[in-house]
Homo-oligomer: A and B are copies of this chain.
Amino acid sequence: MNFGSDNVTGVAPEIMAALVAANQGAAIPYGDDESTHRLQEIFSQLFETEVVIFPVVTGSAANSLALSVITPSFGAIYCHEDAHINQDECGAPEFYTGGAKLVTLKGEAGKISATDLAQRLATAGTGVVHRVQPAAVSITQATEAGTVYSLEEIGAITQVTHSHNLKLHVDGARFANALVTLGCTPAEATWKAGVDVLSFGATKNGAMAAEAVIFFQPELAKTFGYRRKRSGHLLSKMRFLSTQLETYIKEDLWLKNATHANLMANRLATELAAIPGLELRYPVAANEIFIYLPETVISELFAEGFKFYRWEPGGDLSLVRLVTAFDTEPEAIAAFVETVKSCLIVS
């Protein structure tokens, strides 16, 4: 009954089984093993184009390494002010780029708009030596608010991005959850919409520690290998990382897991929103719910053993975040709703 985050989960059984199975004999280290080699092919098939894929162990590494390829040290990266890269990575993008600046945009429900982006870029001082130079745009899909950019929204953003000669990065820590919601192909959600590089997340959706940086233009990937090694992110026993990613997309495990997580979130949101007096902060499009709860209810939920975060502590009413995952049990949803209801009826 832990709704704290989707990274409180363990490893999906299919992936743990694959790890055990991969533990046979010797393998060439540092990514020259068979499993890692296969990734190039199976991800190119998945995305219906030739991609270059680099496995890493964390989302912060994926994001920062990806951004370091497309942003010079004197560059600027445009992102939502609540973006994980801006708020929750202790300055990792600045470290990896050698001191680029994150320029933040406001935007409802965790999304930046193409219009705002265009306005900012118009006065950014491109070509003026006193100003950091616009280099990249980074959006999060699904967003930090649990919402999902539509293909139209992405297309509009990439249009602005590319018309200024910038590159578009997607932080896809919850890419599977977004994709299930969009109901489109991985290709449509990425390069066909203009995405240049994707941080492809697997950890939150069932892997042990596996993310990947995926380049949709192979020439962008040229320096990545050096940057990954140089930052200590090239594993020696790489097969155990690649196996996770391989299993993750095999037989649509990633979609199955994300579908379940989204379903649980949708159910929880729907049932909570139906309770008089409760209000969702954002529309629920993936596996995160932001909702205002009375402090009395929050206290009772904690007392009952439910775990989750107060996102914005308030007075009587606080905004809380509830995250579902691939292993969330329907019983936990029911129990949560029941507890909330009993509190509100009592009070």
Contacts and interface: CB of A to CB of B under 8 A. Distances in A.
A58 B55 CA distance: 14
B29 A5 contact: yes
Interface stretch (A14-22, A260-268, A287-295): A14-22
A237 interface: yes
Interface stretch (A93-101, A188-196, A278-286, A336-344): A93-101
Given A16-B20, A98-B73, A132 B91 contact: yes
Interface stretch (A148-156, A227-235, A248-256): A227-235
B208 A90 contact: no
B90 A230 contact: yes
Contacts of A62: 232
Q: Which of A8, A65, A208 has the most CB of B within 10 A?
A: A208
Interface in A177-229: 203-204, 208-209, 223, 225-229
Interface in A26-52: 26-30
Given A209-B235, A233-B232, A90 B58 contact: no
Given A92-B232, A95-B231, A226 B25 contact: no
Interface in A66-82: 72-74
A108 B290 CA distance: 33
Given A22-B10, A74-B226, A231-B231, A131 B58 contact: no
A143 interface: no
A87 B229 contact: no
Say which size band chain A's interface belongs to: 35 or more
A223 B74 contact: yes
B27 A230 contact: no
A27 B5 contact: no
Contact of A100 (B91, B92, B100, B236): B91
A301 B95 CA distance: 46
A138 interface: no
A102 interface: yes
A144 interface: no
A94 B100 contact: yes
Given A208-B237, A226-B74, A234-B58, A101 B91 contact: yes
A7 to B, nearest CB: 4
A90 B132 contact: yes
Interface of A: 2, 4-5, 7-11, 16, 19-20, 22-30, 56-65, 72-74, 87-92, 94-95, 97-102, 129-133, 203-204, 208-209, 223, 225-237, 240-241, 307
- Would you list the 9 A-B pairs with minimal beta carbon distance, nearest first? A61-B232, A94-B99, A7-B236, A60-B232, A2-B26, A74-B226, A8-B26, A10-B23, A98-B98
Given A7-B237, A91-B99, A94-B99, 15 more contacts: A9-B26, A10-B27, A57-B209, A58-B232, A58-B233, A60-B234, A74-B223, A90-B133, A91-B100, A94-B100, A95-B99, A98-B99, A203-B236, A209-B235, A232-B233
9 contacts: A8-B26, A10-B26, A11-B237, A74-B223, A87-B130, A89-B232, A91-B101, A209-B240, A231-B231
